[in-house]
Each structure stands twice: as C-alpha cells, then as structure tokens.
Structure 1
Amino acid sequence: MSGTSVKSLLNETTTVVLSPGYEGANIGTIIGFKHVNYLVEKAVIEHFRRSGLPVGRLYEENGLGFDVTAIDSRLQTALVVDDEAVFEVSPVTKDGATELSFKVTVTVEREGAQKKAVTSKVKVALRYDENDVRMLRRLPVAEGLEQFVTPRIGGAEPGEAVASVGEPLVSGGSTDRDPVLDQLLAGQNAYGWKFRIPYPYVHFFDRLQMSGYLRLMEEAKHRFVDARGISIRTLLDEQNHIPAVTHSKVTLLDEALLEEDLYIVYTVDDIFKNLLYTSRLDYYVVRDGHLVKTATGTITHAYGVVENGSSGRLVTFDERVLNAFNNTGDTVSAAGR
C-alpha cells in the first residue's frame, strides 16, 4: 500500500454497479432504506479496493478497522430488487480532517433514462486495533493515511447520572420496562427499549457497527407504532398503508460494545403537512453510573400504498395516525407501558 493509493482514495471518483439483496425487498419489490444504506457502504468499500486500499487488507496488515461513522441518505426514487444501480463515489475530504468523507450518488434506469435515486454523505474512520493478542504484527500505515487513524471512535463525555439500572438481559434480549428508560422518556413524546448487544450486530470482535444501528433504527419505527396502537400489520390489513422512508441519518458518537445494554429512544420531532414526520433516534449505554450517548440520528417517514410490487403513492395521515404520533386520543402511551 502506497502514497499513490492514498492519493487515489482522496481524489479520484469511482463508479460501481450494484444490485440490491433480495432480503431487503420487504415492501413488494421495493428495497428498504436500511439495505439502501448497506449498498452505499458497499460502494465506499469498493472505492477503497479500487484505490489499492482494500479494507480487509488494511486490517490484516495494519490493524486498521474500516468504520462508517456517519451516513446521511436521501431517497428520491425507490430501488427495486431487479435494479442494477450505478453508485458514483466522490471523495470530499477537507484538508486537516480526521475522517474520510465521500459523496455517493445512486442512479437507476427508469423508462429508458437514468434517474437519480439516492444521494448520501458518508464519513469513515480507520479504527486502530491495539490488541496485541489479535494483532501479532502491524505494517507501517501508508503515507497520507495516518491522520484518519484513531484509537477510538468518538469519545463522548459522560452525561446525566442514573439512579438505578434494571436487571441484566441475555444477549439479544430486550425490554421496554427499565428505570433508565423511565428517566430517559420522562416528559417526552417518545418510545424506548433496552437491548443487549449480541454478536451478530458487531464487527472487529466487539463494537457495534453502522449496520447494527441501522437495523435498530428500522426496529424503532416498528416498535413505536406498535406501542401507539397503529402497528405496521394493522395499517396494512386495514388500509394497505406501509411506511416509506425519505431520509435517514446516523452519526456515531462513541463505541458501544458487545454484551453492553443499549438504550434506544425514538422521539417524534416534527410532523409536516400530514404527509411526513421526522423522528430522532438516540442510543445510550450506562458506564460508571452515567449515561453515555453512543450515536444519534434522524429518520423521516411517510405512508404509502404500493401496487403491483413497485408502483407507489404517498397518502396523508388520518386522525388516528396523527393522534398516535402526538400521543393523544385513544392510543397507548409509549412512556407509560
């Protein structure tokens, strides 16, 4: 790995054609936002490979773990399972930055022409693995790459003290009844739960990766509407309405580790013209008796009707849905469950 490779990484635009995974087609043939973001991450990984810095070798030779630390994606046109989407990755890292930055533009063919489907902004850190038991040798880091190497992602300061914590969970277990959640949700139009971080959500042995946060963001929507009496299944059965994401954003603030209890809080922030609503996701762990926020993000949803697998149209929120979002009327109180 050479300085020439680093120059390519920082200056050259790459283009790759990717097809969505079938697992992501949970809305007819439309790919959900989480899997769209997975493809964006994959395109950035391909950019590293084409620049001569494949992410696997960065870890094997230098002990540097590739970590997406922020992703901000706007979905303008749905991706579907048969798409061969074109991902253009453009480096936009500023001088003196400590993280690598990229702009990713996704286009798909519609009616014989290329149409912009997604635009994303991505930040990447190279996390140094200091464990000498796992890393028996490390080659020198390529010139020009040192400034993007970090011994730890983030480094959030301890926040509010917690009076008590609930019973520990088994790996992958969850609960929405916990004294820490009571503290976090007090007075908020929010829903939260505690989740024991399991092995399938981590990478490089022990830290929660971006894809794990995206999975929890998707689950948060489902849990929230279920708690408010308008579950995804309910609205599908009664009105054929399905959630549709137009924007998602996640930023890592610290590291969350394997088998830590993670507290996820989903707060409704804004409702726009009865057509879109934006919620904030905050993720916490408790360390030494204090809350530490490990990540934050936002997600903007609409509701749509999908016909023939991929033809969709948005619908306005009815009174029941608005009452649920505002925690009014005959809906279940998320904070009071």
Structure 2
Amino acid sequence: MTMTSVVTPVTDVELRPGYEGANIGPWIGFKHVNYLIEEAVLRHFCAIGHDARGLYVDNGLCWEIVDIDTRIIHVFNLDETVRLSVSPVASPRDGEHVFEIGIVGDRQGEQIKLARSRVSVALREDSRWATPRAAVAPELASAVVPRIRRSAPAIGFGAAPDAGVPTDLARIAQGRNAFAWKLRIPYFYCHFTERLQMSGYLRVMEEVVDRLLADRGVSIRTLLDDKQLIPVVPRSRISMLDEVYMEEELHTVLVVDQVFKNLTFTAGMECYVERDGQLVNVAVGAITHGYAMLEDRGSWGLSTLDDRLCQALTAP
C-alpha cells in the first residue's frame, strides 16, 4: 500500500517529556519516550486536518496505535526540549498507516539523534454509538478497520509460532524461563470508553518486568540499594493482535530470551485473555534491558550484569 499525497508531508514537533517520566534521577524512562512519540504522531494528524477528537466525534473513528517499535540511542533528560520528525512511509499491511519517527536533541550545541521509532496507526470504527457519522476522507480510508485483529509481526517475536497459543492458564509459563501475571484491566488504561490502548500496554510491559525481577530475588530496589544499579531500556516493541476490553483479565507472560555477553537481557511479552474457555493471544512484545551504574545526581555509566543478576535471569 502507498500513502496518498495528503498524508505524506513530514511533520516536525518540539516536545518536552512529562515530569512523571523522570524515574531515574533527572533521566526519562522508556515509557515516557514512547508517550512523546505517540504525541508527535497525533500532532501529525492534527497538522493534516484530522485530529483524534474530530475523527471520533464526526467520523466515528477511533485513532489507535497498533504497533510501536522504539530504539533509544541516548538518554532523555528532564526539562529538555527535543525535536521529533514524523515521516509517513509505505505500509506492508492494509488497514494501517505507518510512520517513522526520528528524535534529536541538543548536546552541548550539537544536534544528535536520541531515538528512532516506527509506529502503525489504525482507525477503528466505533461500534458503541449508532449516531450518524461523516464520510471518511479518502486519504484515510485505507486505515479504517471494523475491529483490531492482526497477525503477529514476525517469527520469533513474542509467542513462538510453532508452539501456538497455550490452552491451559495454570501452565501458561510452565517449561519456559518465564513469569506469568494477571491484571484486571482498569478503565484508566483504556480509551474510547472501553478498550485497552497502547499506553496501557506500555504500563503492563513495565510492570511485568518489575514483577519478574522481584520474583527472582533481584528487585529494582534491591540492586539499587546494594550496588547503585538501575535498569535502562534501549529497545521496546509492542504489537496488538486483538482487542482487550475494560475489566477483562489480561494474562501476561514475560519470557527471558537471552543474556547477551553480560551486558543486556532480552525478553518477549505475550498477552492473553480467556474467552469462551479459550485463550486468545491479544498482543506480543519484546524488550531489551541493560543496567546503569549511578555515579552521582547528574551522571551514570553503563554496567555489566553481575553474576547474581545473570543467574537469576537464566535459572528460574
């Protein structure tokens, strides 16, 4: 699929990360970097005359990020303005518009690339209200879907294709280097009145890693107090496969893939809901974690993973 000319201009946006995201001293965590990316793509739609509120109220369309893949190259600082460039690109899937986002910041007078991301957006038809709706603009029509239902993005990403979807909740993590966790989806993780949104999945990803580390005896607080170590995330990706609704129980499995040269570890995330006695795979994700050694209030350096952490990650 090729984007129409109305959607193709590049949009440049200057933004500052939210104060809430300064979880590590004056540095911004990966979740809030992804929030900046979401905001930049929303502003791109506003710039071409299709703001999210108008799409919903007038056209009955719910603006939805269905895939986000972000690589963080350099640290983001509190109270720092960064520039995001949103570039529409050809989409490999019908029913989605795809964007590449580059983020640059000022470092001692030099503009350097801080992160890059690739985001897929779908326009999901609202099914709650039968009120009249305006016709969809031709340049957006290719992204309109009646329901979010997608295939997994790649082999080896999230749930293993040859393994299929688990059928037994009690054994959802059995036989794997994995941790399982259940969450009743709260309304404040949802949007458009009923459905879990991408920012909610980012919160789920952040929490399931936190819970796995605590379960293995290497909680974030423990390593911070013992060794001044704190996790950092150079890459994260989440891809929706199906819809999840408010107050459903989301079963999330984090599977540790590998520890790479005692520098980083990677993990895949699988999310399921149970419907009619069957587990439905509703999302997959992947995250890469490293660790930083805090040196003082304004500086840190990358650290290797110590033996205690490596053992906890490789021996469940």
Q: Give TM-score, length-normalised by structure 2.
A: 0.92
Call closer, same or farther: CA 1:325–1:217 in 2, change over 3 Å: same
- Alignment CA distance shift 1:186-1:225 (3 Å): same
Of 2, 21, 38 in structure 2, the residue corresponding to residue 41 of structure 1 is 38
Deviation of 1:156 (Å): 6.6
Tell me if structure 2 keeps the 8 A contact 1:247–1:299.
Answer: yes
> What SS does the corresponding residue of 2:98 show, helix, strand or coil?
strand
Shift in Å at residue 14 of structure 1? 0.7
Offset of 1:307 from its aligned partner? 3.4
Report the alpha carbon displacement of residue 62 of structure 1 after superposing the two structures with TM: 0.4
1:161 aligns with 2:167: yes
Residue 126 (structure 2) pairs with residue 137 (structure 1): no
Q: TM-score, normalised by structure 1?
A: 0.86
* 1:14 lines up with 2:34 in the alignment: no
- The answer to whether the 8 Å contact 2:68/2:120 transfers is yes
- Look up the equivalent residue of 2:259 and give its one-letter code: I
Distance 1:257 1:95, change over 3 A: closer
Q: Given the alignment, which residue of 180, 184, 206 partners 2:194?
A: 206
Q: Report the Cα distance in structure 1 between the residues aligned to 2:77 and 2:296, rounded to whole angstroms.
A: 12
What SS is found at the alignment partner of 1:144?
helix
Secondary structure (helix, strand or coil) at the match of 2:218 reads coil
258, 280, 289: which one aligns with 1:270:
258
Q: Which amino acid aligns with 1:59?
A: Y
- Give the counterpart of 1:59 among 56, 59, 76: 56
Among residues 76, 79, 84, which one is paired with 1:82 in the alignment?
A: 79
Contact 1:159 1:290 in 2 (8 A): no
For the 8 Å contact 1:191–1:266, the answer to whether it is kept is yes
2: CA distance, partners of 1:304 / 1:124: 33
Distance 2:70 2:150 in 1: 24
Gaps of 5+ in 1: 163-179, 328-332
Q: What are the within-5 Å matches in structure 2 for residues 219-258 of structure 1? A: 219-258=207-246
Distance 1:160 1:326, change over 3 A: closer
Alpha-carbon offset, residue 257 of structure 1: 0.7
Residue 248 (structure 2) aligns with: 260
How far the C-alpha of 1:322 sits from its partner, in A, is: 0.8
**Post-superposition offset of 1:6:** 6.4
2:182 pairs with 187, 194, 210, which one?
A: 194
Deviation at 1:270, TM superposition (A): 1.3
> Is the contact made by 1:156 and 1:293 (CA closer than 8 Å) also made in structure 2?
no
Q: Secondary structure of the residue that 2:76 maps to in structure 1?
A: coil
Q: Are the equivalent residues in 2 in contact too, given 1:248–1:297 (CA < 8 A)?
A: yes
Q: Is the 8 A contact 1:85 1:107 kept in 2?
A: yes
Q: For residue 159 of structure 2, what is the aligned residue in structure 1?
A: none
Pairwise CA distance, 1:130: 2.1
Structure number with larger C-alpha Rg: 1
Moved more, 35-44 or 91-100: 91-100
Q: Which amino acid aligns with 1:184?
A: I
Q: Which shifted more, 293-302 or 151-160?
A: 151-160
Distance 1:58 1:326, change over 3 A: same
Q: CA separation in 2, counterparts of 1:278 and 1:232?
A: 16
Counterpart pick for 2:271 among 246, 270, 283: 283
Large movers: runs of 4+ above 6 Å: none
Amino acid corresponding to residue 264 of structure 2 in structure 1: L
Residue 20 of structure 2 corresponds to residue 23 of structure 1: yes
Alignment CA distance shift 1:237-1:288 (3 Å): same
**One-letter amino acid matched to 1:136:** T
Aligned-partner residue type, residue 206 of structure 1: E
Unaligned runs of 5+ in 2: 153-163
Which secondary structure does the structure 2 equivalent of 1:145 belong to? helix
- Aligned residue number for residue 119 of structure 2: 122
Shift in Å at residue 94 of structure 1? 3.6
RMSD (CA atoms): 1.8
TM-superposition CA deviations, 1:161-192 (whole Å, max 9, x none): 33xxxxxxxxxxxxxxxxx1x31111011111
CA distance in 2, matches of 1:143, 1:155: 23
SS in structure 1 opposite 2:50?
Answer: coil
Aligned to 1:150: 145
Cα distance in 1, alignment partners of residues 136 and 114 from structure 2: 36
Amino acid at match of 2:268: R
| Matched pairs, number | 303
**Residue of structure 1 equivalent to 2:98:** 101
Post-superposition Cα deviations, 1:87-119, rounded to whole Å, max 9, x if no partner, equal: 000000348732000000000100111010000
